[in-house]
Amino acid sequence: MKTRHKVLITLLFLLILPNLGYFSMVVVAVPDFGWFTKGKAVSAPVADAVPSVKDANGIEFVLIPAGRFQMGTPFGADVSEDEIPQHWVTISQPFYLGRYEVTQAQWESIMGSNPSEFKGADRPVDSVSWDETQIFIGKLNEKAGGAVYRLPTEAEWEYAVRAGTETTRYWGDGAEGMDQYAWYGDNAGKKSHPVGQLKPNAWGLYDMLGNVWEWCQDRYSNKTYTKDPVTDPQGPVEGAGRVMRGGGWNGYAGHLRAAYRFELDPGYRRRNLGLRLRMEKR
């Protein structure tokens, strides 16, 4: 090697070396940087350690702690625009969320009828509109002595489904192992299944992804998310559609993600659409 080439290489090395540490710090600080996995699982209480209660109707609820999480999908991911930007959300108060989707037996005991396509007392109720869920909840609240019921907001829902994780799904980033946690198009056999048959998330919630879609309380908007941190978001004050979350028994694997959002008219019914209850004690 010629002397002048050696000098050039030495100068280049001296120029780059002091900046290697800075460059590595920048890479680590960038969310979803391509050299690393999409997310990481963080510690959360095991299902058996999470407090739960049963109400007078026999519906079991899990106590969801207050906390803070990043809602939505990381910047740069190949997803719908209504899932970004990812932003910090604070859930300021603990609340109870149904361990299972509302079953047909529970619905029928309150409403006196069962609209479901796939009949079975321990299957999730399906084919119910958002409007009908409000009638069901109203009847529950009329007879409830020490509780108040409603649908979860989509922020509460996503916080609960994540259960302390930052990954695409509560068991990881990929679709590997999905059959152990969720009923969806590849394993459901074109029908819903009794609740609680597969593995729960870390907070002991079953079928948060798959089986039936779940109505949320919020109106839908594709411009709901901002970069600013928010506390207890309730969704937009105007809008025709209502949010549904979680994917269903006939869904694609890509729809079974913690951050995936969809909307429907509140009067619409589908045989893959049900609900999960949120409860507060008075």
Residue with tokens 């649908």: 151
Q: Using one digit for the tens of pLDDT, what is the confidence trace for 114-165?
A: 999 999 999 999 999 999 999 999 999 998 778 999 999 999 999 999 999 9
Residue 273: φ, ψ to 5°: -130, 125
- pTM comes to 0.83
Confidence of residue 80 (pLDDT cuts 50, 70, 90): confident
C-alpha torsion 266→211→158→239, nearest 10: -10
pLDDT at residue number 78: 67
Q: Using one digit for the tens of pLDDT, what is the confidence trace for 260-276?
A: 999 999 999 999 999 99
Ordered strands of the 278-281 beta sheet: 52-54, 60-64, 95-98, 278-281, 147-150
Q: Yes or no: say if 39 and 198 are a contact pair by the CB < 8 Å rule.
A: no
Query: Where are the extended beta strands (E) located within 95-212?
Result: 95-98, 147-150
Residue 35 has pLDDT above 70, yes or no: no
Q: How far apart are CA 81 and CA 73, in angstroms?
A: 9
Integer CA distances (angstroms), 177 to 10, 40, 215, 264, in order = 51, 16, 25, 29
Residue 11 has pLDDT above 50, yes or no: no
